[in-house]
Amino acid sequence: MASKTTLEKAKEWAQNSYFSPESRAEISALIEANNQKEIDERFYKDLEFGTGGMRSIRGQGINRINIYTIRKATQALCLEVLAQKSANPSICISYDSRIWSFELAKVAAEVMAGNGVKAYIYKHLNPVALLSFAVRSHKSMAGVMVTASHNPPEYNGYKVFWSDGAQVTPPNDQNIINNYYGITDFTTIKTMGFDEAVKAGMISWIDDSVEESYYKAILSKSINPQICKDNGGKLKVIYTPIHGAGLVPCSRALADLGFTNVHVVPEQAKPDGNFPTVKSPNPENPSALKMAVDLMEKLGGDIVMGSDPDTDRLGVAIKVDGKIHYLTGNQIGILKLHYMLSEMKQKGNLDGENYVVKSVVTTPLLDTIAKKFGVEIYNTLTGFKWICGKMNELEKTAPQKRFVFATEESFGYLCHNFARDKDGVSSVSQMAEVALFYKLKGMNLLDALDKIYEEFGFSREDLLSLDYFGIEGQEKISRIMTNFRNFSDNTILGHKLVQIKDYSKGIEGLPKSNVLGFFFENGNQVYLRPSGTEPKIKFYIMIQEREGTLSNKKINAEIKATQFLDYFKAASERA
């Protein structure tokens, strides 16, 4: 039987009474307008359910985020949960400030209840870390975070966690994916009305005590709590949640630690899924922190910190000698790890059983720092699902080992073991602690970085991110990876190439992943990786400079990084 065309699929949607009148009308309008391009985008495939969940533009159709694709994803998750034969299965749910997030969270709860799985849902929006913490607190089988993280406003998504509080990993992730694609009829999905399920005890609001326990837990991980309590008011903090879920939890965490001189960007304080003041609510981008930087200059602040909608990322800016500096994700990780290890060593809290986890595309300078402190460091695939998967593995196989810190270059950090995902809330409070520590020594964060570079060597990291949208974009990204997978030259820009690692072959004990690593004789590294959640391909440039003064190292590294960026961009455009 011939496969259906996208237009046929669209007509079926428009005529199916299962879908709401509004949903059918949206698709009918596309058909009437003969908008074939948009029909193709919405119906050429089922919305992809990846190893961590799904993320897409909101809208009607099988390749969009809507209540129907959320129902389908939740049914798939419930089937895997029920397969575990737990006596009283439950799933925790949280959501951020994005458009439809609360509605989609309730839809997910209705499907859970319909399948006999109890749903615990937060009364108000909360970050990723509090979802992970709730899963562990309730001893639930799984968790769901309704979010599209830092994507543009038109996106939303669905992130799946397992019973350990980490994003779901094999074999459960693949089982859920198989379940998802096995659902071909939306009418087979089981649901129970929200109010009915609440009355039946199948949906419950998460108690406030869970949040209180979380705040106490992260406060206990402060390295120098007394310094913060005594001097917290001396650091003027500018914070922005960028219209996301971070205002209440980050303000609370800072206050608990003793930071009383905190100023929130008023125009960005209120949760708003339209993110009206930014092009994209991503604190990795300087433009998203502009209003906070303006407030810092107006008030004479010491540090700007910003978090994304689901508050799992941290961006930082400071002003030094009249110039604004936006720290990279790697630099923030370097500052945090060095602070933790140097202070722990001074207090006698390092004993050879401590460990750190990072992704392979995160600066190798962290490896150098950890090893010099006698701390073991593990490298994983990109993403905190793999980082926390390693934490969970070590918890079982080497319980004597103690977790210290985890990071990836994309502005994600975890400085405690109470949750199993990157935590922007504790990252904000810890960054304030680091900044205060150095301010009391008469140093800013650039001074601190230079001191680290002098001791451990200089490393510069740059990211080239190229967007390729839609069907054509997917094909383009595939061609780029194929071209570099078949790369046969011995050098790039005069740098002798000593090895190409193809992680799709499952090397170094890691799961197979569509990642390439280029390793050069002089220590430089370049990684290529298509994004798993966005229509883009990323190139991670890592330059190591070992000769000359620190000033010369910085200049030489910048030149080489720029050359690499230009080279890979041009090669990608030709693909």
Strands 354-359 and 376-380: parallel
How many whole angstroms separate alpha carbon 159 and alpha carbon 363?
A: 26
Q: Which token pair is 335?
A: 């500052």
CA distances to 13, 172, 313, 405, 471 from 179, in Å: 22, 10, 31, 35, 25
Strands 155-162 and 53-57: antiparallel
Burial (CB count within 10 angstroms: exposed 0-12, middle 13-18, buried 19+), residue 395: middle
Q: Which token pair is 284?
A: 């990795």
- List 305's β-bridge partners, or say none: 239, 316
How many whole angstroms separate alpha carbon 246 and alpha carbon 336?
A: 20
Q: Which token pair is 21?
A: 């009148």
Contact indicator for 49, 145 with CB cutoff of 8 Å: no
How many residues does the structure list for the chain?
575
How many whole angstroms separate alpha carbon 480 and alpha carbon 198?
A: 50
Q: Which token pair is 349?
A: 């809290």
Q: What are the φ and ψ backbone dihedral angles of 513, each rounded to 5 degrees?
A: -150, 145
* Residue of 90, 94, 97, 149 marked catalytic: 149
Contact indicator for 141, 118 with CB cutoff of 8 Å: no
Contact indicator for 238, 299 with CB cutoff of 8 Å: yes
Amino acid at 60: Q
Is 101 annotated as catalytic?
no
How many whole angstroms separate alpha carbon 115 and alpha carbon 71?
A: 11
Which residue, among 298, 165, 249, 232, has the nearest Cα to 440 in the 3D structure? 232
Q: Identify the residue whose tokens are 């964060």.
A: 445
**Triad 44, 45, 48: Cα angle to 5°:** 145
Which residue, among 309, 287, 249, has the nearest Cα to 100 in the 3D structure? 309
Which residue, among 124, 123, 114, 137, has the nearest Cα to 204 in the 3D structure? 123
CB-hemisphere CA count at 13 Å for 245? Answer: 32
CA distances to 248, 404, 426, 434 from 265, in Å: 13, 32, 19, 22
Q: Which token pair is 481?
A: 């990876």
How many whole angstroms separate alpha carbon 560 and alpha carbon 544?
A: 10
In order, the DSSP letters of 507-532 are: -TTPPP-S-EEEEETTS-EEEEEE-S
Q: How many CB atoms lie within 10 A of CB 427?
A: 29
Q: Identify the residue whose tokens are 């693949």.
A: 174
Q: Give residue 116's region: left, alpha or beta (phi > 0; psi -120 to 50).
A: left
Q: Which residues are catalytic?
A: 149
